[in-house]
Amino acid sequence: MILDHIGVATNSIEQSVIAYEALGYKAGEIFTDKLQNVKLCFLKKNNNMQIELVEAIDNTSPVIKHLKKNGVSPYHTCYRVNNIKEKITELKKKSFIIISEPKKAIAFDYQYVCFLYHKNIGIIELLEVKE
């Protein structure tokens, strides 16, 4: 597993972009992923790891609960994997609970992503990348 990005839940991508740009990050395009029910924007600084800003598009969005409980804050850590189904099986044996079955994500050229939870680290995202 290779670390891909940190997801940050936000109430306003536009406002968060202004703050991150003050820290030297460059924002990519803001787009809507109706499959995930969120608006997204990736930020980069030099060649370092990316930050993904995640904003709810309605009250059924998966980030709503997180924002209500924690406000704007880190939401998940994303890891690249070669085989998402194998990795899910492996992690379930290590007390990870699947909270979102694999589905295609617009943000990653329709590669599969899923979300899991572990009580000691919170939410992780798996991103299947065929190499």
Written as tens digits, the pLDDT of the chain (131 aa) is 999 999 999 999 999 999 999 999 999 999 999 888 999 999 999 877 799 999 999 998 989 999 999 999 999 999 999 999 999 999 999 999 999 999 999 889 999 999 999 999 999 999 999 76
Note the helical H segments in the chain.
Answer: 13-22, 64-70, 84-92
CATH number assigned to the domain comprising residue 29: 3.10.180.10
Name the domain count of the chain.
Answer: 1
In angstroms, the CA 109 to CA 23 distance is 28
Q: What is the predicted pLDDT for the residue at 111?
A: 94
Q: Domain range spanning residue 98?
A: 2-128
Q: What is the predicted pLDDT for the residue at 101?
A: 94
Q: What is the predicted pLDDT for the residue at 47?
A: 79
CB-based contacts of 122: which residues, under 8 Å, 6+ apart? 76, 77
101: left (phi over 0), alpha (psi -120 to 50) or beta: beta
Q: What is the predicted pLDDT for the residue at 107?
A: 86
Q: What is the predicted pLDDT for the residue at 82?
A: 95
Q: What is the predicted pLDDT for the residue at 26?
A: 95
3-state secondary structure of 86: helix
- What's this model's pTM, rounded to 2 decimal places? 0.89
In angstroms, the CA 102 to CA 42 distance is 21
